[in-house]
Structure 1
Amino acid sequence: MIHQYLDINPEVQDALTNGKPVVALESTIISHGMPYPQNVETALRVEEIIRGKGAVPATIAIIKGKLKAGLTKEEIDYMGRGKGILKTSRRDIPFLISKGLDGATTVASTMIIASLAQIKIFATGGIGGVHRGAEESFDISADLQELSNTNVAVVCAGAKSILDLGLTLEYLETHGVPVVGFKTEELPAFYTRKSGFKVDYIVEDAKEVAAALKTKWELGLKGGMVIANPIPEEHQMDFNIINQAIDEALMEAGIRGIKGKATTPFLLERVKELTKGNSLDANIQLVYNNARVAAEISVELAKLENPVYSE
């Protein structure tokens, strides 16, 4: 039944059939994260990085009502140029399919489609989380609920630093989602390597992550894992500068009454303007770094699950 909705790219399907490593990628960063053609160039570069590490990239999207696991270059360009491509989370999927619309997938919807395609590793920039002031607004990203339910591991540079990181960690703990620091004891804060919050576990290499994931899922412990991978030191932003920009953007969002799914795109765009584009440059570099680590983990997991697999 699912095959009438899901279209798996032949390269991705071949890799899955033969137990080779595959890394899922979201498409919101293409359609809503940066301007054309930089968005397409970045997406294609991320795919190159994953291939260079021995894995197959599978960019996820919804195109004309079809769930896509793995896009062609032409489809990536379409997502980068397209107008009216909807930012898509779990609640939106059935409506986009039934109406034949285009959707750029968030962390939550990318996890869902990756899971349907049996892809277990996903690289993104940063996960959503509990928004600042959520004790009044109840604004909590669907990403967190998805992480507690869907068996996909997410490699990210922590949660977006526009969020309440402490409450985000509390939510993940309550729902049994491990937050693992990749060679770090501190949760990275997207643009910076430091946040002041500790991760649950520290791992030193991709083999350690792959072993934990295999064990978790074989035990039937439902849900994903957050692998928090800090932005490379040479690309991180000054802690005070970025937080000042975030505070100013949050104040403007409050004054203008921006809420719900419009909040994150507004804040990221405003922070980019306030930092004269430096935040976008940092964003691109951390995505590249996450792609490398995700590919390494995917390769190690493939070796554990398919002993005959060799790079």
Structure 2
Amino acid sequence: MNSFHTRLGAEVAAALRDRRPVVALESTIVSHGLPRPDNLRVAREIEQAVRAAGAVPATIGMVGGQLVVGLDDAELTRLASVDGVSKLSVRDLAIAAADGADGATTVAATSAVAAAAGIGVFATGGLGGVHREAATTFDESADLGTLARTPIAVVCAGVKSILDVGATLERLETLGVAVVGYRTRRFPGFYLTDAGFDLDWSVDSPEQVADVLAARDAHGVHGGGLIVANPLPADEQLDPALHDRTLAEGLALLERDGVTGKAVTPYLLAHFHSATEGASLAVNVRIILRNADLAARIAVAAAGRAAA
């Protein structure tokens, strides 16, 4: 008989018990988002970035059908190295657990599992969102619906620029998901510093984000998540002309090859990696390391505020 309970890693369990700062991390970037062997090295660097800023990393994934909040290094290595690791959104978790699968959690699944475990801050690269041509395909990431009902702060570099950014922002507004720019009033576009859309709100420090979270808790009106949009500095973004050219080529290839549904994002990201000769991968790594650092500083500020 399988045991379906979620297991907390020892370090994460101790940190949560002692009310120390913890940052959730996804595992899809490890198994599906980065090529081998870079994926394991970067996964360890992400965890180290969280530690260096004073928080405990909690990488979330499924090993042999058991959800783990705080994968140890052997489990992280397993998800980074073996073939057949399933990509798990929220709807897939119970099925994969019953099947005894190895699985990597998406933004949606990581958010839901982290919040259920009592973790309030999550760092990722870029969110999923509304896909281009969604008016006819109805293709929209489960990230949006999950964040509408999950009280967690997600530090990200906006949504992936391969998506319909404007439509995604409209959906976030409709779903009641708050969005603040970190030291900006412009929404970032993952590889790009500026996706071309204004934001109503911005914050200038981790302490301000902690104040927002405290105000939400004090009001008792939790609603959904809080997106902290953390743009790359302009001199660290992917060259915009190269980005636009690569995206146009990728969209044409999508149509040619008939790629649809959840295969679209990994297909386009792989095209970016190939067509930019690794430049997009380097940008992707900078994004997640910066977000891990900021998320950890927010978690530290929130924990300090709660203890005061």
Same fold, TM-score > 0.5, yes or no: yes
3-state SS, counterpart of residue 187 of structure 1: strand
Whole-Å Cα distance in 2 between the matches of residues 93 and 200 of structure 1? 35
1:184-234 per-position Cα deviation (integer Å, ceiling 9, x unaligned): 110010011111101231100011111101211332222111100012333
The one-letter code of the counterpart of 1:303 is G
Q: What is aligned with 1:76? A: 76
Q: CA deviation at 1:125?
A: 0.3
Conservation of the 8 A alpha-carbon contact between 2:130 and 2:165:
yes
3-state SS, counterpart of residue 194 of structure 2: coil
1:184-263 residue pairs with structure 2 within 5 A? 184-218=184-218, 219-263=220-264
The one-letter code of the counterpart of 1:166 is G
Conservation of the 8 A alpha-carbon contact between 2:25 and 2:123:
yes
Q: What is aligned with 1:65? A: 65
1:111-126 residue pairs with structure 2 within 5 A? 111-126=111-126
1:87-166 residue pairs with structure 2 within 5 A? 87-166=87-166
3-state SS, counterpart of residue 125 of structure 1: coil
Which ranges of structure 1 fall in alignment gaps of 5 or more residues?
Answer: none
% identical aligned pairs: 44
3-state SS, counterpart of residue 162 of structure 1: coil
Whole-Å Cα distance in 1 between the matches of residues 200 and 26 of structure 2? 25
In the alignment of these two chains, the number of paired residues is 305
Q: CA deviation at 1:246?
A: 1.1
The one-letter code of the counterpart of 2:290 is N
3-state SS, counterpart of residue 195 of structure 1: strand
1:249-286 per-position Cα deviation (integer Å, ceiling 9, x unaligned): 11111221111111110010011111111000100001
Instruction: Calculate the aligned-residue CA RMSD, in Å.
Output: 1.1
1:131-173 per-position Cα deviation (integer Å, ceiling 9, x unaligned): 0110111100000001100111110000000000000000000
Conservation of the 8 A alpha-carbon contact between 2:4 and 2:97:
no
3-state SS, counterpart of residue 184 of structure 1: coil
1:270 equivalent to 2:271? Answer yes
Whole-Å Cα distance in 1 between the matches of residues 217 and 252 of structure 2? 42
Whole-Å Cα distance in 1 between the matches of residues 39 and 227 of structure 2? 25
1:26-45 residue pairs with structure 2 within 5 A? 26-45=26-45
1:86 equivalent to 2:92? Answer no
Whole-Å Cα distance in 2 between the matches of residues 222 and 197 of structure 1? 24
Conservation of the 8 A alpha-carbon contact between 1:183 and 1:203:
yes
Q: CA deviation at 1:4?
A: 4.4
The one-letter code of the counterpart of 1:28 is T
3-state SS, counterpart of residue 32 of structure 1: helix
Conservation of the 8 A alpha-carbon contact between 1:61 and 1:69:
yes
3-state SS, counterpart of residue 298 of structure 1: helix
Q: Identify which range, 191-200 or 9-18, moves more after superposition.
A: 191-200
Which ranges of structure 2 fall in alignment gaps of 5 or more residues?
Answer: none
1:40-51 residue pairs with structure 2 within 5 A? 40-51=40-51
Whole-Å Cα distance in 2 between the matches of residues 232 and 301 of structure 1? 25
Whole-Å Cα distance in 2 between the matches of residues 198 and 69 of structure 1? 35
Conservation of the 8 A alpha-carbon contact between 1:272 and 1:279:
yes
Whole-Å Cα distance in 2 between the matches of residues 5 and 243 of structure 1? 45
3-state SS, counterpart of residue 122 of structure 1: strand
1:303 equivalent to 2:279? Answer no
Conservation of the 8 A alpha-carbon contact between 1:245 and 1:275:
yes
1:8-27 residue pairs with structure 2 within 5 A? 8-27=8-27
Whole-Å Cα distance in 1 between the matches of residues 213 and 245 of structure 2? 37
Whole-Å Cα distance in 2 between the matches of residues 234 and 299 of structure 1? 28
Whole-Å Cα distance in 1 between the matches of residues 217 and 144 of structure 2? 18
Conservation of the 8 A alpha-carbon contact between 1:232 and 1:286:
no
